[in-house]
């Protein structure tokens, strides 16, 4: 990572333009090791650098990797149109450093959503070639039958797909609830597959990506956390 001037460090962490970050420092709003730093051109090693802005502690991160428990009625878009965007659930610094959702969940779908400003990470997690399994719990309008489960495992034809799409795993959880595991990540895939199989989805929650479980993160709806290297290692393709 190396040394950088404090104004550039703050800019990279989403605190505004370099000029604004220099003003923050000159006004005595930034502390490192408890010391007020007034010189925006002073350099610091960025590795494991801890600092505070307006007395709020921060740790320098070259990139951020975030897990969000997405609530209903939030859009996975930087420019939402009908509902608040998921970025409004995060500190404003993340929007300024171009954090964005990894893929999308519909506004009425809840559950595990990854977010990052690391383009390589976003591409790798979004690539259908990696076959990363995603687990959903779907609530259905009509009762879940063995025939429905069989259809979803065998594959259903969607009008804009050249070949049938099948669930990797499909299990009945209750009279109107099932677990479905997918690897493709097509547009509205769970809802469209259920409709093609003669049922309808009334609620949908993504509970796992790879081996990363939402329950293990202990996040209430609307809460988020950083993902460390060990947690990111769980975001892997099926064995």
Give me the active site residues, please: 106
d(CA 45, CA 30): 16
Contact 37, 1 (CB under 8 A): no
Contact 62, 46 (CB under 8 A): yes
d(CA 41, CA 83): 41
Q: Is 58 helix (H, G, I), strand (E, B) or coil?
A: strand
Question: What is residue 85's DSSP assignment?
Answer: B
Residue 3, token pair as written in the block: 């040394």
**Angle formed by the axes of helices 189-196 and 146-154, nearest 10°:** 120
Residue 76, token pair as written in the block: 């996975």
């Amino acid at each position: 990572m190396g040394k950088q001037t404090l104004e550039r460090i703050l800019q990279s962490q989403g605190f505004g333009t370099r000029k604004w970050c220099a003003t923050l420092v000159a006004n005595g709003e930034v502390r490192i090791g408890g010391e007020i730093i007034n010189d925006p051109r002073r350099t610091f090693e960025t590795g494991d650098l801890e600092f505070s802005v307006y007395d709020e502690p921060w740790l320098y991160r070259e990139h951020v990797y975030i897990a969000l428990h997405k609530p209903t009625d939030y859009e996975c878009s930087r420019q939402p149109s009908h509902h608040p965007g998921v970025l409004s659930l995060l500190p404003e610094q993340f929007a300024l450093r171009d954090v964005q959702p990894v893929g999308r969940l519909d506004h009425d779908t809840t559950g595990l959503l990854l977010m990052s400003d690391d383009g390589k990470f976003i591409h790798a997690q979004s690539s259908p070639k990696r076959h990363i399994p995603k687990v959903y719990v779907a609530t259905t309008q009509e009762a879940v039958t063995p025939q429905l489960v069989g259809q979803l495992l065998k594959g259903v034809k969607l009008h804009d797909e050249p070949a049938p799409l099948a669930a990797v795993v499909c299990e009945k959880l209750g009279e109107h609830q099932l677990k479905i595991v997918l690897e493709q990540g097509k547009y509205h895939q769970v809802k469209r597959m259920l409709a093609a199989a003669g049922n309808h989805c009334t609620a949908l929650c993504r509970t796992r990506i790879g081996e990363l479980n939402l329950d293990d993160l202990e996040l209430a709806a609307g809460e988020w956390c950083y993902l460390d290297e060990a947690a990111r290692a769980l975001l892997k393709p099926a064995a």
